[in-house]
Structure 1
Amino acid sequence: MRSDTGARLGRRLREGAWGWLFTGPMVLVLGLFMVLPIAMALWVSLLHWDGQSNPFGGDADFVGLDNYRRLFADDGLDRTLFATSLRNTLYYVLLTVPLQTLLALFLAIALNQRMLRGRGTLRTVFFFPSVTSSIAVSTVFLFLFQGSGAVNRMLGWIGVKGPNWFADPRGLVWLVLGRFGVDQPAPAAGGPLGLSWSEWFAGPSVAMCTLILMAVWTTSGTFMLIFLAALQDVPRELEEAAALDGADRRQLLRHVTLPALRPVLFLVLTLGLISTWQVFDQVYVMGKGAPGNTTLTPAYLSYSSGFDNADYGQGAAIAFVLLGLVLLFTAVQRWALRERDGRARRGPKGARRAPR
């Protein structure tokens, strides 16, 4: 009995040693290039550092949580800019993630039809914007939507005067209400993080809507392929059985296809959530926060605090706040899309069904 226990223990130790032998190099690489830089950045977020001295040699001033307090508690420009960037990104996330997910799912379902011809060509066409450089796409959109760009010229052909896309700092809510003679009230205290309620509920600006349109166009192709791969794994027997039971296309989508796509839907939503909260390159190319900071995002504000204002401590603090927001929203999304096994096993009037 003891010999069998000793043999099993020795076998487990050998397996563990071989496992660490194979995974050790990757663990070392991740530690050097991910964990260690994160720890260093966390230390920098507690300093007042201009990027010129050694932050680990006592040359920088240790300020503790002062960088975080300036973002959340102290009245001033730092908190106003940070709150403005959060407001802009909230609208960006709330509009971009659902639109790109729905468009990707619609394209995947359409391309999954066996009777559709040219599916390979259509997949390439829809996926092509996703592999194009974001800097190049942003530059093209900047030329298309400027005051004298092609979009306004096309609108002029049908008698519609196009807006000055990157010059109007008003949100869509006040832009529409302004047509009826309702002007945005002057900023007043009382809103979260120093912004007035009228600023929080102003909606995205026209420039931010342009960024949203570009993001949906450039990311839907990638998510389309993910959905398409998942759709091809849905058993045909389930769809045929549902069709024999009289289910129409809408019921088939709701009760068969979407439940089978739940894990992939969580993946797509998580990837979209992370990428939208971290948007930077499009903002950098298409205005650097203009007009009126309506396209300012936390990622760009973190970059600007460090490289433009030489305040790397505050830039690192903004980055860690952004990390916390991404983790929080990902956890909420995971909770919302969790498998409800307890509810599924309940029969009529709350009675539990016996497991098969």
Structure 2
Amino acid sequence: MTARRPGAAREVLAGWLFVAPVVVILGLFMLAPILMAMWVSLTDWNGQGSPFRAGVPFVGVDNYTRLFTEDGLARQDFMTSVRNNVYYVAIVVPVQTVLALGLALIVNARLLKGKAFFRAAFFFPSVTSSVAISVVFLFVFANSGAVNGLLALFGVDGPQWFADSRGVLHLAMGAVGLVDPATPPDALTSGGPFGLSWWEWLSGPSVAMTTIIMLVVWTTSGTFMLMFLAALQDVPVSLEEAAMLDGAGRWNVFRHVTLPLLRPTMFLVLTLGLIATWQVFDQVYVMSQGNPAKTTLTPAFLSYQTAFRNFEYGSGTAISFVLFAIIVLLTLVQRWVMRERRPA
């Protein structure tokens, strides 16, 4: 057994004294609220008085089971919000990542002139208020807005963007003649998991949700562009030049030299994008309120709606904890998929 170094105890004590303020602040303003919210999710508190008083009904895990096992409006709304958010995440995360990387490569090009201008131009939407941009998009995609006016120049009758609840996959299948969206096959409408039919699960994002997706991709790509740009500027130029001297083309240099060096930044961008897309709220709140026909409803907005509009704080908090579990699980899966594998 090794002897303890003299003065080690005082160093440990000094270290704890230095971090004590941060620990206390995090405990009071993060850990304590989380534990309080967890208790609320196990009750039927309606927002009146304190949730810790004796008269608040304790329901255990009933708020959670209603979301997964009990037939009713609560499960239908929650699964509808999950379906909407799955399509939202599946489109936004890859598109904004690819777009951000492409913009970073353009801005990082050595021969590009006016780099400062392009960096500011690409990043500007990210620092603008999401509420303000959402309001602008409401006008741009209005029935008589600029987008439909531009489509009319090409003889295209634009949809009612924020009032169209049709799923884009349904529209695509109808366009190629696979199915008739008005009369879907009985096999797809007769049953499905978690209270939704397979036809509903396979709807794709609605036209209204697609509009929100375009807004979010445009406003978030600039932030992730800066992350990729910082990583690209740390890539040694000598490695790329050595690969090109060995006969590698630009694509092979990017694929086998640049992209592997961007792995940590890629993981960061994908993780932040995954978390942000599962927590989308402000755009839905401003632009659609979950409409039309609940096709833009998301778990975050449903949690707010259940708690602060329907005064079912227990159910609303339960939805938020399920959303937290989904984010943690998907982040761990993403970390496992993107882990660095050593050759056998």
TM-score by length of 2: 0.96
- TM-aligned CA deviation for residue 189 of structure 1: 4.7
Q: Separation in 1 of the partners of 2:263 and 2:105?
A: 15
Residues matched between the structures, number: 339
Residue of 112, 119, 142 corresponding to 1:116? 112
Q: Separation in 2 of the partners of 1:120 and 1:71?
A: 49
5+ residue gaps, structure 2, are: none
Q: Separation in 2 of the partners of 1:193 and 1:199?
A: 11
Structure 1 consecutive aligned stretches of length 4 or more whose deviation exceeds 6 Å: none
Cα deviation digits, residues 111-132 of structure 1 (max 9, x gap): 1111110001100000000000
- 1:96–1:215 Cα contact (<8 Å) kept: yes
Q: State the AA in 1 paired with 2:3.
A: T
Q: Separation in 1 of the partners of 2:222 and 2:87?
A: 22
- TM-aligned CA deviation for residue 142 of structure 1: 1.0
- TM-aligned CA deviation for residue 138 of structure 1: 0.6
Q: Which residue of 2 aligns with 1:286?
A: 287
Q: Separation in 2 of the partners of 1:11 and 1:123?
A: 52
- TM-aligned CA deviation for residue 178 of structure 1: 3.5
Q: Which residue of 1 aligns with 2:323?
A: 322
Residue of 7, 10, 29 corresponding to 1:11? 7
Q: Which residue of 2 aligns with 1:134?
A: 130
1:174-193 correspondence to structure 2 within 5 Å: 174-179=170-175, 180=177, 182-184=180-182, 185=184, 188-193=189-194
Q: Separation in 1 of the partners of 2:174 and 2:73?
A: 28
Q: Separation in 1 of the partners of 2:204 and 2:300?
A: 20
Which piece of structure 1 moves more, 34-43 or 54-63?
Answer: 54-63
Which piece of structure 1 moves more, 299-308 or 11-20?
Answer: 11-20
Q: Which residue of 2 aligns with 1:153?
A: 149
- TM-aligned CA deviation for residue 183 of structure 1: 2.0
Q: Which residue of 2 aligns with 1:20?
A: 16
Q: Separation in 2 of the partners of 1:159 and 1:312?
A: 50
Which piece of structure 1 moves more, 178-187 or 231-240?
Answer: 178-187
- 1:89–1:277 Cα contact (<8 Å) kept: yes
- 1:189–1:195 Cα contact (<8 Å) kept: no
Q: Separation in 2 of the partners of 1:224 and 1:93?
A: 19
- 1:46–1:64 Cα contact (<8 Å) kept: yes
Q: Which residue of 1 aligns with 2:341?
A: 340
User: Is it true that 1:73 corresponds to 2:69 in the alignment?
Assistant: yes
Secondary structure, aligned partner of 2:160 = coil
Secondary structure, aligned partner of 2:335 = helix
Q: Separation in 1 of the partners of 2:67 and 2:327?
A: 17
Q: State the AA in 1 paired with 2:12.
A: G
TM-score by length of 1: 0.92
Q: Separation in 1 of the partners of 2:106 and 2:66?
A: 50
Q: Which residue of 2 aligns with 1:275?
A: 276
Q: Which residue of 2 aligns with 1:349?
A: none
User: Is it true that 1:64 corresponds to 2:65 in the alignment?
Assistant: no
1:247-266 correspondence to structure 2 within 5 Å: 247-266=248-267
Q: State the AA in 2 paired with 1:210.
A: T
Which piece of structure 1 moves more, 49-58 or 120-129?
Answer: 49-58
5+ residue gaps, structure 1, are: 347-356
- TM-aligned CA deviation for residue 110 of structure 1: 1.1
CA RMSD of aligned residues (A): 1.5
